């Protein structure tokens, strides 16, 4: 059905999507273990391709060297932020001395962050391969080529933003942008996969236009994105409480409005997912991709609610933090693909 070159792109694109979710999972492990500053420099780790395993392997005077380098990078970043009109944020970057505080060496945290970077590099190569293989669509579907090439540029920006995350000592709002950009990269890869698979296999698409279903799927997806934003605010609040050495048992009660909004949106998302599930099951055969993904989305929202309950009732265990983040990203991806599958077949 598919020419060999197109099969190659589809396989590369599918692998890219899987690796991108692994990157998000690795990032979640880094955050839940507090390993974000395990490597004080970027892209190397303690100026080594292979990071150290013991204090004796650290370069002499590395603390002053890396703090100085981070300070210069932060000044450049502050100019960019100020250029876009955020003068208050730029001033905070310039004058907040806490972002230059040095963290003591911890081999476990160093290697956790290093593995996270390796997975990120693998994702970068996968995206590059997808962009190269997408040249086969230059005449038949140039949109696939355009989006694939754009995604390579977006991941370069994401890599640069990762270096800013390190240089600003995990400044909260930058981490939030970093997470949202990761979802954008996943979304573009899913979209190119959808375009490539539906180019030859029209049976994936629907025969009738269901505007209400597609609108509901889109609205549910937007609610998820907003929930992710508030979820990152909750995570930032948790990091702050952890830095203040407040007991885990008191974290949830002290987070405040971001947690309340995040929890409320979770129930809204659950309700919308259940409604969408029954509407899809009513309209589509159980053998269709639409029906299968409706089941998948329903299962994911159930797991997401369960991990959220565990976080709230059992003092925010790190394992549940990582699971909550990974399932949220999978939920976003499945919702987005289900929405795309609501597109009517053009005859």
Per residue in 253-282, pLDDT (tens digit) is 888 898 999 999 999 999 999 999 999 998
For residue 306, give every residue at least 6 positions away whose Cβ sits within 8 Å of its Cβ, in sequence order, or none.
Answer: none
**pLDDT-wise least confident of 91-95, 197-201, 225-229:** 91-95
pLDDT of residue 321: 87
Give the burial class of 316: count Cβ atoms within 10 A of its Cβ; 0-12 exposed, 13-18 middle, 19 or more buried: buried
DSSP line for 288-345: SHHHHHHHHHHHHHHHHHHHHHHHHHTT--HHHHHHHHHHHHHHHHHHHHHHHTTPBP
Q: In the predicted model, what is the mean pLDDT of residues 137-147?
A: 94
Question: Look-up: residue for tokens 């265990």?
Answer: 317
Tell me if 120 sits within 8 A of 45, measured CB to CB: no
Residue 347 has pLDDT above 60, yes or no: no
Q: What fold characterizes domain 204-347? A: 1.20.120
pLDDT band at 329 (very low <50, low <70, confident <90, very high): very high
**pLDDT-wise least confident of 209-218, 269-278, 328-337:** 209-218
Count of other CB atoms within 10 angstroms of residue 218: 14
Cis peptide before 21 (omega within 30 of 0): no
Per residue in 77-124, pLDDT (tens digit) is 778 877 777 777 777 777 776 666 667 788 888 999 899 889 999 999
pLDDT of residue 59: 77
Per residue in 10-55, pLDDT (tens digit) is 999 999 999 999 999 998 888 778 777 788 777 788 888 888 888 8
For residue 59, give every residue at least 6 positions away whose Cβ sits within 8 Å of its Cβ, in sequence order, or none.
Answer: 46, 47, 65
What percentage of the chain has pLDDT greater than the value 90?
43
Q: In the predicted model, what is the mean pLDDT of residues 288-312?
A: 94
Tell me if 165 sits within 8 A of 43, measured CB to CB: no
Tell me if 303 sits within 8 A of 327, measured CB to CB: yes
Residue 2 DSSP label: -
Q: Where in the chain is the domain with CATH 1.20.120?
A: 204-347
Tell me if 70 sits within 8 A of 167, measured CB to CB: yes
Helix (H) or strand (E) holding 54: none
- How far apart are the C-alpha atoms of 134 and 13, rounded to whole Å? 9
Q: In the predicted model, what is the mean pLDDT of residues 214-243?
A: 88
Our measurement of the distance from residue 229's CA atom to the centroid of its chain's CA atoms, rounded to an integer in Å, reads: 11
């Amino acid at each position: 059905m598919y020419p060999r070159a197109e099969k190659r792109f589809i396989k590369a694109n599918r692998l890219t999507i899987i690796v991108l979710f692994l990157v998000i999972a690795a990032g979640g492990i880094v955050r839940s273990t507090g390993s974000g500053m395990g490597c004080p420099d970027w892209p190397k780790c303690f100026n080594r391709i292979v990071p150290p395993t013991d204090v004796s392997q650290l370069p002499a005077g590395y603390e002053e060297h890396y703090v100085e380098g981070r300070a210069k990078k932060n000044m450049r970043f502050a100019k960019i932020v100020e250029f876009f009109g955020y003068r208050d944020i730029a001033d905070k970057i310039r004058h907040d001395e806490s972002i230059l505080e040095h963290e003591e060496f911890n081999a476990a945290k160093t290697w956790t962050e290093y593995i996270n970077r390796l997975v990120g590099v693998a994702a970068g190569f996968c995206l590059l391969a997808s962009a190269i293989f997408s040249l086969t669509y230059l005449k038949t579907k140039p949109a696939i080529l355009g989006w694939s090439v754009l995604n390579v540029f977006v991941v370069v920006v994401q890599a640069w933003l990762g270096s800013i995350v390190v240089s600003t000592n995990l400044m909260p709002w930058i981490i939030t942008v970093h997470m949202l950009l990761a979802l954008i990269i996943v979304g573009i890869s899913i979209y190119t996969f959808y375009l490539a698979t539906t180019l030859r296999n029209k049976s994936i698409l629907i025969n009738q236009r269901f505007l209400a279903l597609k609108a509901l799927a889109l609205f549910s997806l937007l609610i998820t994105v907003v929930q992710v934003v508030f979820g990152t605010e909750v995570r930032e609040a948790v990091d702050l409480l952890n830095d203040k050495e407040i007991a885990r048992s008191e974290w949830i009660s002290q987070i405040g409005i971001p947690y309340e909004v995040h929890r409320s949106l979770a129930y809204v998302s659950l309700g919308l997912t259940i409604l969408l599930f029954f509407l899809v099951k009513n309209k589509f055969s159980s053998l269709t991709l639409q029906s299968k993904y409706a089941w998948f989305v329903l299962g994911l929202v159930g797991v997401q609610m369960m991990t959220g309950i565990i976080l709230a009732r059992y003092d925010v265990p790190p394992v549940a933090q990582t699971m909550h983040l990974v399932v949220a990203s999978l939920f976003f991806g499945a919702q987005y693909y289900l929405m795309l599958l609501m597109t009517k077949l053009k005859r």
